[in-house]
Amino acid sequence: MKMRKIGFGLCFLIFLLAVNPSANAQKVKYKDLILLLSAKQYDKAEPFLKRYLKENDDNPNAFLYMGIVLQDKLSKIDPLLHTETLEGTIDSSVFFFDKSYKTITEKELRKNDEYYEAYMRRDLRTGKFVIKLSDVQLDIENRMNSLKTRKDKVRQLKTYFVESSQAYSRTNQLYKTLHSKYGAEREFFLRSDDEMLAALKRISVNFDSAITAFEKYKSISKELGKNGYNHVIDLQEIKDIKRDGSTTQDFMKDDLKLWDYKKWSAQATQIIEKEITPLRDNLIAFDIALNKLNEKLKTDSISVKPDLASLASKLPETQLKKYDPSPMPFDVFAMKMAELEYHSDLIMNRPLRDSLNVRLRLAGIKSEIADLKKLDSVSASLMKRDFSQEEKDYHHFISKAYGTTSVLQSLINSTNEYAKKERLKKETAWERISQSLKWLVAGTDSIPLYSESNRELKYKPLIIEDERFTAGLFYQDTTAVGYFYDITPARIPKIKTTYKVDQMSFKKKSLSLFKGLATSDAVGNSFIVLLYSSEKANDRFPATLAKIYRTEGLAWSVDVSFELLPAEIKLNNENGEISVRMSGSDGASKIVNFDKSGAVLK
């Protein structure tokens, strides 16, 4: 019957509030309000309870329920967004619980026992249902203690949450500041310094603070129970500093995708300490080693090419090119090594410069020109570099090895100028000496080793066997003389032979008609020379045949003629006979044989 009364009264009160808003202005009767409170309709009861307490400050049960209403309300207040409101609500709840604790008496319980039915318990001694003041007070004490603890936990929850968010934000800002100062990965590692290492340490420390605070926040959140959040950290690896790590994160989201700054800073620090710093030391050591080789070359006047080959194998090429595909120090080393190679070749080629062998002298100069071309090229390439950027990337190398950028640039410029001047000088010498390959020098005469049409030259070569011999006609005024010279490396012939030819057949005006054939024995001790005209005289092709020995010179020369044009000449090494094969325009072919004295064999 009592439950039906409560249910009817509750429905009537809710209906009254819904259809008649002006009821809020009417005097609240606690016997009606208790129906809402007993049914735990705290949201609906709260405004009426507040108004009731404003008008009535002597109802201990109303104080108790106000504390309960406010305590129940806590679960609906966001502890992160409305922390102060939550703390204020806790304080208000404790306040009303305290008032109820101080005003609830045995008399109050006997007078209004229906308001405290929630505390009714069976007395184990008597077996009757009773409401004990101690039970009520214990419940109120527990509620106040719980609320005070909750307030402390909420304050800690918010504190750690803010600490974590702010520490992560600081970490993010430190990272972006570092990135903006040092650039992408290439510049980042090349330009690393003590300041960067300190910044990486700060990033790691701040990130640790963020994670530690977050873990404390999660621990307290678990103690508090459901609070509307289920934060989970998902660490994201920073793989490319140009692309990753700069974005921020909203800590109010449950899925926290945070950049793993600690892992990144640890990896970056390890690379700097284990790779970059040793690389820098190696660059300085390599430069010092090159300087020592330069001193050795100057002091001992010996080639350092073997030392260069050994030193080059120690160049940390693979390691540095991971960060810079075209390292400036490597070009500096290449320039200094090219100069050392050039000066080494100068020393090694010193004997060649006095050699009578023209080709050897040219080979020496050619190697020196190749060195200078390389030196010119690499120094010119260095001059095109932007040293305002190179100084940032390789500050350690420049400052330790050269002091200042201007000193290094001055070295590069002077080296390039030196290479150009030396190259011009060597190319001029090469051209001058290479011209001597085209001439034999016999006393005051110069015999050309190339075919030419200059009628003013006295010597007209008809046969030139590369690096072996030359033969032709020598004209003193208009008189023709046959000549044969061997071609030596020094271009000073050892075999110098002249002989008579048919003057009527070898007139200077018909020079373009004259041809020559030659052969020698297997060891090159005897030579056969045939000079002939490609124009017939008396229906035959006139010619002069000569035999020359290396040691004795001219053996004999005879004037001969042929029915057809001579095409090939051979010497039989066993009997000394000479064969001349002739060919005609119609394809006909004949052979004329001569004995070892030049007589025609029938």
Q: Where are the domains of the chain?
A: 2-156, 182-268, 276-436, 452-594
Runs of H (alpha helix) within 243-383 = 261-271, 277-300, 305-312, 317-321, 328-348, 350-353, 358-383
Tens-digit pLDDT profile for residues 401-413: 999 999 999 999 9
Token couple for 490: 């020094």
State the chain's maximal CA–CA distance in angstroms: 171
Report the share of the chain in percent with pLDDT over 90: 67
- What is the pLDDT at residue 19? 44
Runs of H (alpha helix) within 56-132 = 60-73, 83-103, 106-111
Tens-digit pLDDT profile for residues 373-427: 999 999 999 999 999 999 999 999 999 999 999 999 999 999 999 999 999 999 9
Q: Tokens 């005024």 sit at which residue?
A: 477
In sequence order, which residues have a C-beta less than 8 Å from that of residue 311 and are 6 or more positions away? 286, 289, 290, 293
Kind of pairing, strands 255-259 and 232-236?
parallel
Query: What whole-number distance in Å separates Cα of residue 415 and Cα of residue 419?
Result: 6
- What is the pLDDT at residue 26? 67
- What is the pLDDT at residue 8? 46
544: amino acid identity, one letter: T
Give the global pTM.
0.71
- What is the pLDDT at residue 515? 95
- What is the pLDDT at residue 9? 47
pLDDT less than 50: residues of the chain: 1-12, 15-16, 18-23
Interior angle at CA 131, CA 130 and CA 132, nearest 5: 110
- What is the pLDDT at residue 261? 94
Query: What whole-number distance in Å separates Cα of residue 328 and Cα of residue 313?
Result: 18
- What is the pLDDT at residue 486? 94
Q: Are 495 and 486 in contact (CB under 8 A)?
A: yes
Query: What whole-number distance in Å separates Cα of residue 593 and Cα of residue 333?
Result: 69
Q: Are 330 and 290 in contact (CB under 8 A)?
A: no
Token couple for 76: 């609906």
120: amino acid identity, one letter: M
- What does residue 474 show for φ and ψ, rounded to 5 degrees? -110, 130
Q: Tokens 């604790």 sit at which residue?
A: 101
Interior angle at CA 470, CA 465 and CA 475, nearest 5: 150
Phi-psi region of 148 (alpha: psi -120 to 50; beta: other; left: phi over 0): alpha
Sign of CA dihedral 528, 552, 446, 542: negative
In CATH terms, 2-156 corresponds, of 2.60.120, 3.30.160, 1.10.20, 1.25.40, to 1.25.40
379: amino acid identity, one letter: S
Distance in angstroms between the alpha carbons of the first and the last residue of the chain = 165
- What is the pLDDT at residue 473? 93
**Helices (H), strands (E): how many in the chain?**
19, 17
